[in-house]
Amino acid sequence: MVVTSDPNPSFLEFSLGGLPAPADLQRVSPAALAYLGDAVYELFIRSRCLLPPSRLRDYHQRVVAYVRAEAQADCLRSLLPHLLPPELEIVRQGRNAASAGPKRVDPELYQLATGLEALLGFLYLTDPLRLGQIFQLLEALVGDRCDSNQGR
């Protein structure tokens, strides 16, 4: 664990086993990056939906509204103009790595969601500062909507 002088360090500053070496990172598949990015994204959304205090079931419903493939695809579409060419390549690779998703989800939406997850997993491993910038952009998209989704 990294200890910082910041009294409120973000989860990005914590790493249990260290990061893979750059040579090892090249061996990580886009699907594996999406697997990691899914967890990173869900943690980001869970932390955003903690307020106002609620029952666990209500937290879960609010979070699910954001981690669904449809919502992730919308987020990626909004992020696309802000992404750098290497990031767009990671998104493309993630989209191409998407296997058949749930039957309820349009395959194109599932591919977009997987592209977003691959990008977040990649940035988590390689560039936490850029990941923070992406989360700031996502924050503008999410805003206070977690609060407004209480009734969902």
Active site includes 38? yes
* pLDDT of 112: 94
* Domain assignment present for 119: yes
- Rounded Cα–Cα distance for residues 124 and 12 (Å): 7
Q: Residue 64: in which H helix or E strand, if any?
A: helix 56-67
Sign of CA dihedral 133, 135, 138, 140: negative
120 vs 41: CA distance, rounded Å: 7
Q: Which of the residues 6, 24, 38, 127 is marked catalytic?
A: 38
> Does 46 map to a domain?
yes
Judge whether 111 and 98 are in contact, CB under 8 Å.
yes
Task: Please tell me the predicted confidence (pLDDT) of residue 120.
Answer: 97
Q: How far apart are CA 54 and CA 61, in angstroms?
A: 11
CATH number for the domain spanning 56: value is 1.10.1520.10
14 in a domain, yes or no?
no
Residue 119: per-residue pLDDT? 97
Give the distance, in angstroms, between the CA of residue 60 and the centroid of all CA atoms in the same chain.
Answer: 17
- Counting the structural domains of the chain, the total is 1
Q: Give residue 151's pLDDT.
A: 39
The percent helix, strand, coil of the chain (3-state, each to 5) is 70, 0, 30
Which residue, chain included where needed, has tokens 């194109």?
A: 108
Question: Could you tell me if residue 12 is inside a domain?
Answer: no
Residue 24, domain member (yes or no) = no
pLDDT by residue, tens only, the chain of 152 residues: 344 444 444 544 545 456 677 777 888 999 999 999 999 999 999 988 888 878 888 888 888 888 899 999 999 999 999 999 999 999 999 999 987 767 777 889 899 999 999 999 999 999 999 999 999 999 887 764 555 444 33
- Residue 7 covered by a domain: no
Is the separation of the CB atoms in 34 and 121 below 8 Å? Answer: yes
CA 137 to chain centre: 12
Domain for residue 36, yes or no? yes
Question: Domain span at residue 48?
Answer: 29-151
